[in-house]
Amino acid sequence: MKLLFDLFPVILFFATFKLASSFPAQSLALATSVLGGVIGDGRVPPDQAPILLATATAIVATLAQVGWVLARGRRVEPMLWISLAVIVIFGGATIWFHDETFIKWKPTILYWLFAAALLAGRVVWRKNLVKTLLAEQIDVPDLVWDRLMAAWVAFFAAMGVVNLAVAFSVSTEVWVNFKLFGLFGLTLAFMLGLGIYLSRHMKEEATDA
C-alpha cells in the first residue's frame, strides 16, 4: 500500500500524459483554459499540452499526498517534503516557461538530493541515515550499515545520470514510459540485490551465533 502511495504522483503523471497525447485537441483546450493564466505568455504550444497537464497533475498529486498525511495527524517524512519542493520548483518552471526540460531534470535533482543528504548525514552529523531509518527492522554490524549507505549513495547518483541520459536522448513519450517503468524497475532490482546481500549476511550472523 505504501508503494502505491509513493508512486501515486508518478502514476498520475504517466496516465495524464498518455490520455492527453491521445486527445491532442482536447488537451490543448484544457491546458489553455486551466494553465493559460499561470503560463508566462499565456499561450500553450500544442505539442507541450500533454507534458504541461501531466506536470500540473503531478504537482497537485504531491500536494494531496502531503495534505492526506497531515489530515491523518501523521508526520510527513522528509523525503516527501523534498519531493514536494522539487516538483513545485521544477514542475512550476516547466509550466511557466512551457519547457519540458525542467520536469525532465526533476528525477535527477531528487536522486542527487537524496545522495547528498546521505553523505551530509555521514560527514557533517556523523550519522548513517540508512541505519537510522532501518535499524528497528534490521540488525546488522556497523560495517554492513556503512556498505548499505555507500550502495544507496552510488545508486542515487547513478540513477540521476541514467535519467538524464534517457531524457535527452529519446522522445518525451519514451522518457515518460521510462520514468514509470524503467526507474521503478531499476529501483526494484537494486533493492532485491540488497535484500539478497543482507539475507546472506544475516545467515552468516545466525551461524556464528
Share of the chain above pLDDT 90, in %: 66
Say what the pLDDT of residue 209 is.
Answer: 43
Chain segment 39-68, per-residue pLDDT in tens: 656 678 888 999 999 999 999 999 999 999
Residue 126: left (phi > 0), alpha (psi -120 to 50), or beta? left
Give, for 196, the enclosing helix (H) or strand (E).
helix 183-208
Label residues 51-68 b or e (16+ Cβ within 10 Å = b).
Answer: bbbbbbbbbebbeebeee
Torsion sign across C-alpha atoms 11, 173, 29, 31 = positive
Predicted local distance difference test score (pLDDT) of residue 201: 63
Among 24-28, 113-117, 194-198, the minimum mean pLDDT is found in 194-198
- Average pLDDT on 23-42 reads 81
- In the chain, the percentage of residues whose pLDDT exceeds 70 is 92
38 touches 60 (CB < 8 A): no
Domain ranges of the chain: 1-98, 100-209
pLDDT at 208: 46
pTM (predicted TM-score): 0.88
Residue 3 has pLDDT above 90, yes or no: no
**Which residues are CB-contacts of 200 (< 8 A; sequence separation ≥ 6)?**
none
pLDDT at 42: 64
pLDDT at 168 over 80: yes
Per-residue model confidence (pLDDT) at position 4: 81
Q: What is the DSSP string of 42-89?
A: S---GGGHHHHHHHHHHHHHHHHHHHHHHHTT-PPPHHHHHHHHHIII
Supply the mean pLDDT for the chain.
90
Q: Give the per-residue pLDDT at 53.
A: 96
92 versus 131: which is more confidently predicted?
Answer: 92
Residue 205 has pLDDT above 50, yes or no: no
Cβ(28)–Cβ(49) under 8 Å? yes
Helix count and strand count (H, E) for the chain: 10, 0
